[in-house]
Structure 1
Amino acid sequence: MYVSPAVRSIQRHPIDGETATLLVRLDDAADVETVAEQIRECGGTIEQRLEFDALAITVDHSAVASICELDGLSAVETDDTLTMGADGAGEDVRLGDQS
């Protein structure tokens, strides 16, 4: 499963009381309702069902690691991947080595 650099950063350094809006993409074989229920059990809120078997969710930083461990996901990214700002292609563009 692909986990974007921004999401990995939240996993490693969650901020108490902060939430993240994530884009979760489902595997071809995953059932969207089952995955949605698992997200709710982790404390997440389903904000929107998107095209191509994806969900936009909001979850506390402290639960991001649990979301990334769910079965049935093919990718977890921040919602910044849905927009392209004036500075380029979104969250996954890194300049230099920014581990």
Structure 2
Amino acid sequence: MDKFKESILTEKINLAKKWCLITTVFKVVIAIIVCVAYFTNASCLPELIVFSVVLSLLLPLGFYGAFMENLLEYNTQAIEDRQLLNANEANEHFIKMSERITKLEDSI
């Protein structure tokens, strides 16, 4: 994998992690606000509950799915690159061994 593609994938992973963290913190803050409103018998409690439910529906953990997808793509590319590197190194050793065998056969 070239450096440009690797930097793009790592940037996507970091961005997805950041959005996942932001939405999780936002949902926790909304849950705390609803709890405080419930225990203080606030008059705006029904509106807060509706607002939090709508936000929970609009902000699912899709960012976590995007993070996992990008991470999987990055890991797949890294494994493919490593397999190619291993195969090329093995081929070089096989070629050297083949040359040595042919030299030995010629000398016999």
TM-score class, shorter-chain normalisation, is under 0.3
TM-score by length of 2: 0.21
Greater CA radius of gyration, 1 or 2? 2
Name the one with the larger helix percent.
2
